[in-house]
Amino acid sequence: MKTLSSDDIIQVVIADDHALFRAGVKTALSLKKDVRVIGEAENGQQLLHLLKHLTPDIILLDIQMPIMDGISALPEIKKLYPDIKIIMLTMHNDHSMISRLMELGANAYLTKNSDSEVIYEAIHTCYYNEYFFNDLTNKALLDGLRTRRGADSNANSSVKLNEKEKHILKLMCEEKSTKEIADLVSLSPRTVEAIRDKLKSKTGVKSLAGLIMYAVKSGIIDNK
């Protein structure tokens, strides 16, 4: 979890092929004292070039762009710059797409008609707590779980988690930050991060979204 001092600013890059959309988001975010848009790109290829010169904290990444779209750019960015948080933007609330992108490493998923305050909230939450979940992403992840349950019901059957790992996984699913979890279980944030990485390794998933799906599937949290 990051902490933001009064002198720090959350650095944001917007990647979208619609200039009017970029301008609108940039104008809205300019009203926030703790956020600054430091760069813009029209496609994924341009974005990757931009990232050689800029180090944003957050990227607002449109899914549909010419030359290189957001779906192709996402894994490349995560591979090259794993610390950058990525908020996917789209005109559609396609549940299968949301589930896929969250598992690829997206930190949030918003429709482009989202209110500017929601976009700001997502930026702020991803910066501090790594992920921003809303009704859209939660429902998509659970739908994805139901769809895949029959295909991989035995994939994680041999995984054994101890009580501490289960407790920490539950807290992660409750959207607790690393520091909050550390305080609740009387461990250091670094130890909590190590346990999170171990959970990913044990369950064979690559992201928090995958851990949530595992937790639901295995009955660690309720699937409501």
Q: Which CATH number fits the domain that encloses residue 50?
A: 3.40.50.2300
pLDDT score, position 153: 47
pLDDT score, position 138: 64
Which phi-psi region, left, alpha or beta, contains residue 55 (left: φ > 0; alpha: ψ -120 to 50)?
beta
Question: 75 in a domain, yes or no?
Answer: yes
Q: Does residue 175 sit in the same domain as residue 206?
A: yes
Q: Does residue 123 sit in the same domain as residue 186?
A: no
Last residue of a domain, one of 88, 113, 143: 143
Question: Given pLDDT bands bounded at 50, 70 and 90, which one contains residue 9?
Answer: very high
* Least confident piece of the model among 22-31, 147-156, 166-175, 188-197: 147-156
Two structure tokens written together for 49: 């070039």
Going by C-alpha positions, the residue among 133, 122, 48, 116 that lies closest to residue 85 is 122
Q: Does residue 75 sit in the same domain as residue 181?
A: no
Which phi-psi region, left, alpha or beta, contains residue 130 (left: φ > 0; alpha: ψ -120 to 50)?
left
Q: Does residue 121 sit in the same domain as residue 202?
A: no
Question: 99 in a domain, yes or no?
Answer: yes
Task: Report d(CA 9, CA 34) in Å as an integer.
Answer: 5
* Each residue's pLDDT tens digit, 60-109: 999 999 999 999 999 999 999 999 999 999 887 766 777 778 778 888 88
Q: Does residue 131 sit in the same domain as residue 195?
A: no
Q: Does residue 24 sit in the same domain as residue 101?
A: yes
Q: Does residue 100 sit in the same domain as residue 205?
A: no
* Least confident piece of the model among 104-108, 136-140, 211-215: 136-140
Measured in degrees and rounded to the nearest 5, phi and psi for residue 110 equal -130, 145
Average pLDDT score over the chain: 83
Q: Does residue 129 sit in the same domain as residue 182?
A: no
Question: 23 in a domain, yes or no?
Answer: yes
The answer to whether the predicted template modeling score (pTM) of the entire model surpasses 0.75 is no
Question: 44 in a domain, yes or no?
Answer: yes
Domain that holds residue 52: 10-143
* Each residue's pLDDT tens digit, 164-209: 888 998 888 777 888 889 999 999 988 988 898 888 888 887 777 7
Q: Does residue 66 sit in the same domain as residue 113?
A: yes
* Number of domain units in the chain: 2
Which residue's structure tokens are 């670094």? 190
Going by C-alpha positions, the residue among 87, 67, 92, 107 that lies closest to residue 25 is 87
Last residue of a domain, one of 143, 173, 207: 143
pLDDT score, position 224: 47
Q: Does residue 89 sit in the same domain as residue 114?
A: yes
51 three-class SS:
coil
Question: Given pLDDT bands bounded at 50, 70 and 90, which one contains residue 123?
Answer: very high
- One DSSP character per residue, 112-138 reads TTS-HHHHHHHHHHHHHHS----HHHH
Residues of 173-202 as b/e, b for ≥16 C-beta within 10 angstroms?
Answer: beebbbbbbbeeeebeeeebeebbeebbee
Q: Does residue 120 sit in the same domain as residue 197?
A: no
- Residues making up the chain, counted from first to last: 224
110 three-class SS:
strand
Question: 170 in a domain, yes or no?
Answer: yes
In sequence order, the 6+-apart residues with CB closer than 8 A to the CB of 2 are: 57, 127, 128
pLDDT higher for 116 or 139? Answer: 116
